[in-house]
Structure 1
Amino acid sequence: MDTLPCQGCKGLCCGPVPITENEYKKIHKKVKAMPRKIREALENQPRLYGTCIFYDLNKDHCGIHAVRPEICRNFGYHKDLVCFRKPELATKEQGTIKEKRIGYLSIDITWKNF
């Protein structure tokens, strides 16, 4: 599978990010296991309103990549989630997220929840 050119975007497409209860639990576990120094460095970065709280501006990538929500995994590969830098990768039909969403990272769910 061809990959997205995420380096250099500075999280422009990373938010708002809807998550489900199961995704929240996985993210919560990952955040609790983070070394304190890494967590604090990620938590204290200034971001534009709505940008995912886990987008690492300093490293220009997702700070929880291994447990990122399904919407993030689908981004760029579905026709309704097109990457503006590589739109030709968006060939899949609309995604089917069956589980109910509990809120949005950065808006409803913030660092205080972790």
Structure 2
Amino acid sequence: MESLPCQGCRGLCCGPVPVTEQELKEIKRKVKAMPAKKRSELEQQQRLRGTCIFYDAEGDKCGIHAFRPSICRAFGLHSNLVCFRNPKAAAGKPWVAKAAPAGILSVDFTWADFK
């Protein structure tokens, strides 16, 4: 599988991020298990409007990469989720969610929902 050049994008592709009910439960569980200092540092960061609340602006990476939502795992690899810096990587068929979204991170779910 081809890798994406995510460093240097500053989270431009990190939103909106729909999450399913199951993904939301897993993210809540994992975020609550994060060290308090790391969680607080991630929460306090300034991001571009509409960027996912879990984008680590200081590290220029996903703050929950190991348990990120399925749309984030699919991004850049499907014809309807093209990475502008490596469009050739999007050779897969259009991505379709396996379940309806429960909402959007940063819009329907904010840091208050993960405490």
Q: What TM-score, normalized to structure 1? A: 0.98
Equivalent position SS for 1:47: coil
- Following superposition, the deviation at residue 104 of structure 1 comes to 0.3
Aligned equivalent of 1:71: 71
3-state SS of 2:79 partner = coil
Structure 1 unaligned spans of 5+: none
What SS is found at the alignment partner of 1:72? helix
Distance across 2 between alignment mates of 1:98 and 1:87: 24
Question: d(CA) in 1 for partners of 2:86 and 2:100?
Answer: 29
* C-alpha contact (below 8 Å) 2:81/2:95 kept by paired residues: no
CA distance in structure 1 between the partners assigned to 2:86 and 2:35 by the alignment: 34
Kindly state the Cα deviation for residue 96 of structure 1 after the two structures are TM-superposed: 2.3
Q: What does residue 35 of structure 1 align with? A: 35
Distance in 2, Cα, partners of 1:48 & 1:10: 9
Aligned residue pairs: how many? 114
> Matches of residues 21-100 of structure 1 in structure 2 within 5 Å?
21-100=21-100
User: Which moved further from structure 2: 94-103 or 37-46?
Assistant: 94-103
TM superposition score normalised by structure 2? 0.97
Structure 2, unaligned runs of 5 or more: none
Give secondary structure in 1 for the equivalent of 2:78.
coil
Query: C-alpha deviations, 1:40-64, integer Å up to 9, x for none?
Result: 0000001122100000000110000
Code of the residue aligned with 2:20 in structure 1: it is T
Matched residue, 2:5: 5
| CA deviation profile, 1:79-114 (whole Å, cap 9, x unmatched) | 000000000000011112121111100011000000
Q: Give a deviation string over 1:62-87, Cα, whole Å, max 9, x none.
A: 00001100000000000000000000
Q: Secondary structure at the match of 1:109?
A: coil
- How large is the Cα RMSD of the aligned pairs? 0.7
